[in-house]
Amino acid sequence: MAKSRIAIIVGSNRRDSINRKLARALAKLGADKFDASFVRIDDLPMFNQDLEGNLPEEAVRFKSEIANADGVLIVTPEHDRSIPALLKNAVDWGARPYGKNSWAGKPGFITGTSPGAIGSALAQQHLRSVMVGLGMILLGGEAYVTFKPNLVDEDGNIADESTRKFLQGFLDRFISLIVRLSQPEPH
Ligand X SMILES: Cc1cc2nc3c(=O)[nH]c(=O)nc-3n(C[C@H](O)[C@H](O)[C@H](O)COP(=O)(O)O)c2cc1C
Binding site for ligand X (CB under 6 A): 12, 14, 17-19, 77-81, 114-116
Q: How far is the CB of 85 from ligand X (least distance, A)?
A: 9
Q: Which is nearer to ligand X, 145 or 171 (CB)?
A: 145
Q: Which is nearer to ligand X, 59 or 123 (CB)?
A: 123
Beta strand 137-138 with 144-146 is unpaired
**Residue in 149, 141, 131, 139 with CA at minimum distance from that of residue 166:** 141
Q: Which is nearer to ligand X, 16 or 154 (CB)?
A: 16
Crossing angle for the helix pair 18-29 and 161-182, nearest 10 degrees?
70
Q: Which is nearer to ligand X, 79 or 106 (CB)?
A: 79
- Percent helix / strand / coil, the chain, rounded to 5: 40, 20, 40
**Residue in 139, 133, 6, 20 with CA at minimum distance from that of residue 66:** 6
